Structure 1
Amino acid sequence: MALRELERTWALFTWTNKLLRPTRCVLDRVLVAPAWEAAFPLCSLLAIIRIGSDHTPLLLSSGEETRRVPPRFFFQTWWFNVPWFGELVSMKLQNFITELGPHMCYIELWQCVARNSRQILKGWGANLGKEKRDFRANLLLQVANLDSIANSSGLDEEGWALRYHLEYQLMALDRADEEYWRQRSRVQWTHRGDSSTTYIHAIESGRRRKCLIPRLKTDQGEVHEQRDLMEHIYQFYQGLMGLEGEPRRFALGPHL
């Protein structure tokens, strides 16, 4: 069967020996069959900035990405590791109680404090994550600019040394993220399995992806739309398990 190599964008080479005078070549490729390419005509291959490895990661997209839903707010346990987090929460709670005054009952006071605390923490957590993302994005931009220069005119030893220094900073950020997820993985299902937490939502999202039926092959061809999929499945099982006398579309045998 004939295979065709997908053309990648952004990177000319996919491997380097990471020296100050590096040797670079193309070792990693993506080959697809004509039938697969016909099924995904909008497919693309993007080279991602190489961090930590001597190989350039290649991201294959089928062109059928769905719209991402904004994540819900959840209290993150790693916020306790921020040195001034406790003082921030204490000051905000004291300000809320002072502004509300002593005339409110305890239930109303608790509801107002909980609602305002959630709004404050949501914005504070978003800003904290944004600072980290902006710092990472700035490092990636500098690395991308150096890689562009290396692909066009080449870099001297100082340029490659700067590129490796920026790469080490990105690797340090990646190690911090790995530690964050490692700490979160210690929580057992028996402790948080039935709670409305990020953990249970991640489990349910993974289960939904596994059970998702993106397309079906029928006698009339492939079905992609969600409404057409539901109609085809409904009609199939209606004929399979319908009442006596109804025409059946499927049978296990002549008398079944």
Structure 2
Amino acid sequence: MRRWGANLGVDLRARKGELLDQINTPDEEADSTGLSADDWLRRCAIESLLMEIFKGEELFWQRRGGQKWLFECDANTAYFQTIAIARRRKCSIMCLWEGDTLLEHPNDIRSHIYSFFKELFTAETRGGVSLSEDFWSAADRASDSENVELTIPFSLKEVARAIASIKAGSASGPDCLLVVFFQKF
């Protein structure tokens, strides 16, 4: 049985190699002389066959990994411990640059991240850029009564109503925070 399974893999690898060779030839022609419409269609057909093989391989490895996980994850095995440690390492920040300084101690990294986000979410105005007094003509400027109306502070109810009216699944803004973040917090 083992040899039969191994032979299936050899045939599949050979077929994949043939398809990769067949797809490289039109790619080289496209770089030098260009391809006709029929050549492009042939290339696309080869590419779709190749994608089927790749999907099959991915499914095989996904199922094989799942079987191993099912058999060994419930037991406190070395395999399970390795997976857990790798996941923890992948999700942690070991070092961080602050300008020219490398931060490696967890407390330094934590305080740097905290101060970054604290500064990012402060309500203080950031200095620097401002418009000159004569940027707009007198007719284009807001009147004193309009200015008073525009500078009235927002009420919490207005802000809550505006945030609740945004579709929760919409794309994040330039700050990379999803709308759900603002609706929840």
- For the aligned pair, the TM-score class normalised by the smaller chain equals 0.3 to 0.5
Largest Rg, 1 or 2? 2
TM-score calculated relative to the size of structure 1: 0.31
TM-score calculated relative to the size of structure 2: 0.40
Higher strand share: 1
Question: Which protein, 1 or 2, shows the higher relative CO under an 8 Å CA cutoff with sep ≥ 6?
Answer: 1
